[in-house]
A and B are shown apart, each in its own frame.
Chain A
Amino acid sequence: MNTFLQKPTSYRKPKTRSWFKEFIAQWDLQILVIPAMIYIIVFNYIPMWGVMFAFQDYDIFKGFFNSDWVGLKHFHVLFNSPDFLLIMGNTLTISFLKLLILFPAPIILALILNEVRNERFKRIVQTITYLPHFISWVIVAGFVTSMLAVDNGSLNLLLKSLGLIKEPIAWLSIPEYFRTILIGAGQWKEIGFSSIVYLAAISGIDTGQYEAAEVDGASKLKQIFAITLPNIAPIIGIFLILAIGNLLNAGFEDILVLTNNGANAILRDTSEVIDTYVYKQGLGGMRYSYATCVGLFKSAINIILLCSANFVVKRLGNDSLW
């Protein structure tokens, strides 16, 4: 069962007769695997070669082999572009905000849910909060637009009836509010579903520890900090590593749908991140090489971040990814 986790032995690629013979002998098994292999090579590995586009002036009519090679030109263009600082700034800011707000929330929700004794109430809340995860971002954007609308938007109605505002505000047209809206929507959509893993981890904690703590007179809160959190620290650690490794993936689908598929120019200054930039430059502006270069830059940083985060966590003595 664990053979694939071990380092590959010096498994010489076999032209020995018996390996080949056995391979043919189990054709009925191989044939189950081969279609998927071909698929993966075509749709996953061939595009990997596509990073070469970043070093060319890719011309779609000339194709890969006939386009000019320009080395690091696009990287120069990227780093000197006035957009670069804006995009990096937005990407990092939004990513940090998401990490700060969206990461702990499901954990807190799991902790709270764990304290609920009434099973029925618990299950109802869970069912309800898991639901938004399964609807598309397009729908979520639809809800957000509807709630924040100037024309019968519930938020404006609520604020007006509370006397907090006099006139409805066009929330989605104000760049300063965009990030809040983005994060709020993301929270609404994912907090429930993300809490599942944490809740499962918490319910797996040996109750003996809690009983001992009760005997010692520890309050509920103290128990949470002294027992629950340390016990689920490994899981939190893993997810944290993944989150940091994803730091430059500040968002894409969510930002696109909330900015009219990227067309909303007003919001650009606070919403444009690396991925949306790649999309607009590459597919919109047809600057294929440039966009590939930006994407490659991002992937490289992501790998560095992932390895660093993994390294740090390992050093701290906790479980890590590898």
Chain B
Amino acid sequence: MKISKGEKVVKVIIYTSLTILAFVTLYPFWNTLVISFNDGLNTTLGGITFWPREFTTQNYRAVLNDIMFIKALTVTIGRTVIGTFLAMFFTSIYAYGLSKKYLKGKKIYMIISIITMYFSGGLIPLYLLVRSLGMIDSYAALVVPSLVGVYNMIILRTFFMGIPEEIEESAKLDGCNHIRTFFSIILPVSGPAIATISLFTAVYFWNEWFNAGIYINSAAKLPIQNYLMNVMNSSNYAEQMAKLTGGIGKFSVTTVTSRSLQAATIMVATLPIVMVYPFVQKYFVKGVLVGSVKG
């Protein structure tokens, strides 16, 4: 072998450190999963790391039995689906319009848009605006403040500009106007780009908690991340829930603790992303590359 001793050592170091990195990345997921499947009281004894000692599904039953959780999940799902759809709709037609050289006023539109990427009014003025629009504590506040993203628009615009004109020519000859052309020709061709941006948008809506937190007052309209925050931050909440759900179900004595309950809630809140992730990972990576190069 031509590899020198020094290079062999380096190789070992590289593979070891990367393995450690991968391990450290995955461990919290795994450990929390294990705790969520472990009996709460048993967990307090300590020592749970790689495998549950006393397997139970109690914690999950406690979570799924909580009406607030079901509500929060519904809110998040609705928000993600509707939000992604609307955001993609407005952003993509916007991007398409701006991709046409002969758009009247294009320069102005572009300048107005780009400026917002660098300057903003700040948190308070935005909050007061939303308030004056009457959107506080409404479902609209979960979606509307994030409808048009200039960054995404630019990525889509670049993509649209790369579509050969011939494709649209035939539609124009048939008498289609831009609106019809967009929906019947451009969209079908833009699958990958739309898919990528949609995924990014969906992940954003699923994870977004801060805006929801400041605009929503009623507990029933909170999305799932905020619900999780409540479970985590007021161990009162968790303990109360634990006691409540202990009465229902097979076990007369509840052994759900706030810790095990929190673990289960965390897992449920992040499950969709983790499950979808391996399949869509390549889209994300590509999107980042395109975005950063163009940006």
A93 proximal to B (CB < 8 A): no
- Contact of B207 (CB < 8 Å), options: A41, A136, A191: A136
Q: How far is the CA of A26 from the CA of B127 in the complex (A)?
A: 36
Q: How far is the CA of A37 from the CA of B125 in the complex (A)?
A: 19
B266–A143 CB distance below 8 A? yes
A296–B122 CB distance below 8 A? yes
A48–B120 CB distance below 8 A? yes
Given A23-B105, A48-B121, A197-B288, A135 and B46 contact (CB-CB distance below 8 Å)? no
Interface stretch among A75-83, A96-104, A150-158?
A150-158
A22–B104 CB distance below 8 A? yes
A50–B126 CB distance below 8 A? yes
Given A50-B125, A196-B285, A138 and B229 contact (CB-CB distance below 8 Å)? yes
B90–A132 CB distance below 8 A? no
A154–B25 CB distance below 8 A? no
Considering the complex, which residues of chain B in the window 131-181 have a beta carbon less than 8 Å from any beta carbon of chain A? 144-145, 147-148, 150, 153, 161, 177-179
What is the chain B residue whose CB lies nearest that of A295? B122
- Contact of A32 (CB < 8 Å), options: B43, B97, B144: B97
Q: How far is the CA of A30 from the CA of B104 in the complex (A)?
A: 8
A288–B124 CB distance below 8 A? yes
- Contact of A49 (CB < 8 Å), options: B94, B123, B125, B226: B125
Q: How far is the CA of A233 from the CA of B263 in the complex (A)?
A: 43
Given A142-B262, A145-B232, A152 and B123 contact (CB-CB distance below 8 Å)? no
B104–A124 CB distance below 8 A? no
A202 proximal to B (CB < 8 A): no
A33 proximal to B (CB < 8 A): yes
Given A143-B28, A157-B47, A33 and B94 contact (CB-CB distance below 8 Å)? yes
B129–A138 CB distance below 8 A? no
Inter-chain contacts of B147 with A (CB < 8 A): 39, 43
Interface stretch among B9-17, B55-63, B188-196, B244-252?
B9-17
A11 proximal to B (CB < 8 A): yes
Interface stretch among A84-92, A111-119, A175-183, A312-320?
A111-119
CB A240 to nearest CB in B, in angstroms, measures 14
Interface SS, B side: helix
Name the interface size band of chain B.
35 or more
Inter-chain contacts of A45 with B (CB < 8 A): 112, 116
Inter-chain contacts of A170 with B (CB < 8 A): none
Q: How far is the CA of A29 from the CA of B94 in the complex (A)?
A: 9
- Contact of B7 (CB < 8 Å), options: A4, A39, A200, A220: A220
Given A3-B106, A43-B129, A146-B263, A134 and B203 contact (CB-CB distance below 8 Å)? yes
Q: How far is the CA of A41 from the CA of B35 in the complex (A)?
A: 48
Q: How far is the CA of A46 from the CA of B93 in the complex (A)?
A: 23
What is the chain A residue whose CB lies nearest that of B110? A4
Inter-chain contacts of A112 with B (CB < 8 A): 14, 17-18
B67 proximal to A (CB < 8 A): no
CB B146 to nearest CB in A, in angstroms, measures 9
Q: How many pairs of A and B residues are in contact by the CB < 8 Å rule? A: 263
Inter-chain contacts of A275 with B (CB < 8 A): 123
Q: How far is the CA of A198 from the CA of B84 in the complex (A)?
A: 29
Q: How far is the CA of A127 from the CA of B284 in the complex (A)?
A: 11
- Contact of A50 (CB < 8 Å), options: B104, B128, B285: B128
A292–B125 CB distance below 8 A? yes
Contacts beyond the supplied A22-B104, A141-B232: 15 A-B pairs with Cβ under 8 Å: A42-B129, A47-B122, A48-B119, A53-B125, A129-B25, A130-B284, A136-B270, A137-B207, A142-B232, A146-B28, A147-B31, A152-B47, A191-B21, A278-B122, A291-B124
Binding site for B on A (CB under 8 A): 1, 3-4, 8, 11, 19, 22-23, 26, 28-33, 35-37, 39-51, 53, 60, 109, 112-113, 115-116, 121, 124-125, 127-132, 134-139, 141-143, 145-147, 149, 151-152, 154, 157, 188, 191-193, 196-197, 200, 219-220, 253, 256-257, 260-261, 263, 275, 278-279, 282-283, 288, 291-292, 295-296, 299
17 A-B contacts (beta carbon < 8 Å): A4-B107, A11-B107, A30-B97, A30-B103, A32-B97, A43-B126, A48-B119, A50-B126, A50-B128, A121-B18, A125-B22, A146-B259, A146-B262, A151-B44, A152-B48, A291-B124, A299-B122
Binding site for A on B (CB under 8 A): 6-7, 10, 14-15, 17-19, 21-22, 24-29, 31-32, 35, 43-49, 90-91, 93-94, 96-98, 100-107, 109-113, 116, 119-129, 144-145, 147-148, 150, 153, 161, 177-179, 182, 203, 206-210, 213-214, 225-226, 228-229, 232-233, 259, 262-263, 266, 269-270, 273-274, 277-278, 281, 284-285, 288-289, 292
